[in-house]
Amino acid sequence: MNRLYELRVSHCRLKPKPHEFSYELFMLYLNLDALDQTAKTTRGLSHNHWNLFSIHDRDHIDLGIPGGIVPNLLAWLEQQGKSFPEKPEIYLMTFPTVLGYGFNPISFYYLYSREKKLIAVVAEVVNTFREMKLFLIEDCDADGIWNARLKKNFYVSPFSDPGLEFDFRIGAPEKTWRVHIDDYENEERIFLSAIRGKAYTFSSKRMLWYFLKYPFLSFFIIGRIHWHAFLLWKKGLPFFKKSDRKEAQQDLLRPYKN
Kindly give, in sequence order, each residue whose CB lies less than 8 Å from that of residue 251, ignoring residues fewer than 6 positions away.
Answer: 133, 153
Assess if residue 168 is contained within a domain: yes
Assess if residue 254 is contained within a domain: no
Assess if residue 70 is contained within a domain: yes
Domain that holds residue 55: 3-248
49 vs 51: CA distance, rounded Å:
6
Assess if residue 159 is contained within a domain: yes
Split into its structural domains, the chain has a count of 1
- Ramachandran region of residue 233, left (φ > 0), alpha (ψ -120 to 50) or beta? alpha
- Cα distances from 191 to residues 13, 129, 139, 204, 220, in angstroms, run 4, 21, 22, 37, 22
pLDDT score, position 194:
97
| pLDDT, averaged across the chain | 93
pLDDT(35) > 80: yes
Q: Which helix (H) or strand (E) holds 74?
A: helix 69-79
Q: How many helices (H) and strands (E) does the chain have?
A: 4, 14
The three-state secondary structure class of 32 is helix
Assess if residue 255 is contained within a domain: no
Assess if residue 164 is contained within a domain: yes
- Condensed to tens digits (0 to 9), the pLDDT of residues 118-134 reads 999 999 999 989 999 99
- Condensed to tens digits (0 to 9), the pLDDT of residues 174-186 reads 999 999 999 999 8
